Structure 1
Amino acid sequence: MAIQGECPKCGKRVLHVNVEIIVGMVDGDSKARCLSHSCIHCHTVLGVQIDPRAKPRARSSKTAAKA
């Protein structure tokens, strides 16, 4: 069992994380706005999740033409 609060790569305590907004991709198409959490010490990604507060993404005319 991993010790909670430690980065699995560098072993330093994780009291804060870097949070980035990223786009989730499926088969080359962007599908959802997501959040990436990474260690502030070594920048290892600790987790990714769908952004629960994101508004639905607008469809571009290029995407609409594909369908």
Structure 2
Amino acid sequence: MKNNIRVERAIKNITQAELAELIGVSRQTINTIESNRYVPSTVLALKIARVFGKPVEDIFSLDEED
């Protein structure tokens, strides 16, 4: 699964720590999701999408291997 959280954070001008605080997780969790080492739960993905005001499909996409 790919994501564009880093790009969306840059557009919104927020840090990993600020995003983490907004959705109630640690900065390390955001880091592992951004670097594709962790696939977020549905709830977490929806919370991230809500922060950016976009559908979850605009933030996350499946790889061909998924």
The two structures have a TM-score, normalised by structure 2, of 0.27
Higher relative contact order (CA 8 A, sep 6+): 2
The two structures have a TM-score, normalised by structure 1, of 0.27
The structure with the greater share of residues assigned to strand is 1
Structure number with bigger Rg = 1
The structure with the greater share of residues assigned to helix is 2
